[in-house]
Structure 1
Amino acid sequence: MFGGGGVLALLALLVPAPSPPNLAAGQALFALTAATGLGVAALSIRRPGALRSERFDTLFMVLGNLCALTSALGEALHFGTTYSEHVALWPMVFAAGFLGRRLLWVQAVLTPPLLALTVYARSLIVGTGERWWIEALVLAVPVVVTGLIIGFFRAAAEDEAEELTQQVGTDPLTGLANRRALHAEFGRLAARVPPGHRVAVIMLDLDHFKQVNDRYGHRVGDEVLRCFAAVLRDHAQPHDLLVRVGGEEFVWVTAEAALDPVMARVEAARAAHAAHPDARAVTVSAGLVCHEASEPLSAGHLDDLLGRADAALYAAKAAGRNCLHLYGGPRPVLEPA
């Protein structure tokens, strides 16, 4: 939009004007429009991130309205015509399609007085009559309504996209994150770990789960999985990451200043699930690994941590299941008899 407006302003400077009301003033306004429009277009090419940053939204809204105003008045002064007043639709569409929702309403409120100013100034320049306010109103209503309609459909599309994103990254049976979302969510969790805290990755597996499906059917098996997911939520902290990676296998990512509280929460979750009536007496084996607090953590560490947690889980299974094993620890932590 800015680039197109800038090019049109440059072309207007090249078109001869037979009897301009004020040629110099019109050329100056067209030059200002061209410089602003092409300047913003050049910025978007050299630094595309600037257009995606909300810090510049208000500036772009102001510049868009400035271009609409200067182009309309420039035409009236340069040619004595009034076609450019319809360019007022561009800032409205720009706000509806690209800026934040708050600025869309600001633009909707700002458009009528700006159009009134433009039409009134043009009436003074070319003498189009005293009832300029009627023309301003006729121009403003469709411009504002068009922008609000675009904003409505944009908001609906964004809400639908957000819902689809959540569905893609969510396990439909348990409501936990799925394997697809694990890496992205782990990166966000790693970025907000408080200093001095250690990130722990726990791999959990429901013992002999296949026997539940074989004996009671998959519907009951699904109830057991949902039960365990609910138990994990009850024992997780608000910023923990809970993932069903497949079948009866789950991953729990958390952060603590010490290891003992993590192990205590895992043990409490295992005991709570085993005692739950919907668990069908299914026990849980777990493998736990901690990232050293002295080493910077990033999303790239996840695969290594998962591998170690998986190795600890297999050690717990080898020890007889129904226990927690710490990676590198001397022996599993067994469920009390």
Structure 2
Amino acid sequence: MPVCLYATVGFLAGANSRYVMNHLALSVPALVLTLMANYRFCAESLRLYLENVSVETLREELAARNAELERISHIDPLTGLANRRALDRYAAALQQQPPRQSYLAVIIVDVDYFKTFNDYYGHAEGDRCLRAIASAIRTACDNDDVACRFGGEEFLILRSEHSPRPHYALALAENIRQQVASLAIPHQPTQEGKVTVSVGVCAGPFDPETELERLIKTADVALYEAKREGRNRVRYGSNVTGSALPPLPT
């Protein structure tokens, strides 16, 4: 473009080589400086753009990793079920809910003679056993149920109910017991000859004034009553008295 301009200037009346050279001496440096400034401006704009893109990408990656770490922190690494931290978060969320007429069932599952199983078959088989039982529990539960590993060989399930009758929670507990028995995991030192579970259940009205811990303790009382009566069975605890009840009629 400048070459064409000055080629035209050379044909103007009164223009001579000195006139053209003087103009070139003044304008060429200005042109070069302008081009350099434009280049640096474009380069800086490109650098800032790429930097912003990089920062945004890093921010998105960091958010995704933090979300994954948060998710992992609420999962038991052995069984893939929720852990105690997830249970505490769920309980806290329940406490924040407005009062309403709803019921909560707590089901505690304990593997019978698990220490004996570990001693006889080894800890690697013990881990496989727990994973299989966790899978059976997951199969028996609905998507809305909260199933977590509560302790070493204990599992806890929370289920929202819409009826004060215990039969719905007991049906889930019995289904879990049967699912585990159907795995037929060998357990030679026991009378059953296979891995079984004992289950304690408690269901009751739940509102922000009700402590989840009370339902858990009552389900735990029912669990130990099931063990006292011979294991491989389901027992129900009263949320009113906090004690285990006689076997309910089917």
TM-score by length of 1: 0.53
* Residue number among 197, 202, 205 corresponding to 1:284 in the alignment: 197
Q: Using a 3 Å threshold, how does the CA distance of structure 1 residues 287 and 327 change in structure 2: closer, same or farther?
A: same
Give the deviation of 1:183 after TM superposition: 0.5
Unaligned runs of 5+ in 1: 1-128
CA contact (8 A) 2:200 2:221 kept: yes
* SS at 1:143 equivalent: helix
For residue 274 of structure 1, the aligned residue among 177, 181, 191 is 181
In the alignment, residue 226 of structure 1 is paired with which amino acid?
A: R
Is 1:331 paired with 2:212? no
Structure 2 unaligned spans of 5+: 1-33, 188-193, 239-243
Alignment of 1:19-30 (within 5 A): none
Corresponding residue to 1:149 among 48, 54, 68: 54
- 1:315 — aligned with what? 225
Normalized against structure 2, the TM-score is what? 0.70
Count of residues paired in the alignment: 205
* Distance verdict in 2 for CA 1:278–1:190, change over 3 Å: farther
- Per the TM alignment, residue 228 of structure 1 is displaced from its structure 2 partner at its CA by 0.7
Matches within 5 A, 1:226-265: 226-258=131-163, 259-265=166-172
Q: Is contact 1:224–1:279 with CA below 8 Å preserved after alignment?
A: no
Tell me how far apart the structure 1 counterparts of residues 90 and 49 of structure 2 sit (CA, whole Å). 40
Contact 2:112 2:197 in 1 (8 A): yes
The verdict on how the C-alpha distance between 1:326 and 1:190 changes in structure 2, with shifts beyond 3 A counting, is farther
- Match for 1:177 among 60, 82, 89? 82
Q: Would you say the 8 A contact 2:140–2:179 is kept in 1?
A: no
The alignment-based identity, stated in percent, is 32
* Equivalences for residues 116-265 of structure 1 within 5 A: 137-188=42-93, 196-258=101-163, 259-265=166-172
The 1:163/1:313 distance shift into structure 2, 3 A limit, reads same
Higher strand share: 2
Q: Which has the higher contact order (CA 8 A, sep 6+)?
A: 2
2:6 corresponds to which residue?
none
Contact 1:201–1:254 under 8 Å retained in 2? yes
Q: Radius of gyration: which is bigger?
A: 2
Q: Is the Cα–Cα contact under 8 Å of residues 169 and 203 in structure 2 kept in the other structure? A: no
Deviation at 1:261, TM superposition (A): 2.1
Once the two structures are superposed, the pairs formed by residues 100-119 of structure 1 within 5 Å of their partners are none
Aligned CA RMSD, in angstroms, stands at: 3.1
Q: 1:160, CA displacement in angstroms? A: 2.0
Letter in 1 for 2:219: A
Cα offsets for 1:210-268 (capped at 9, x unmatched)? 11111111111111101110011101111211111221111111112233222111101
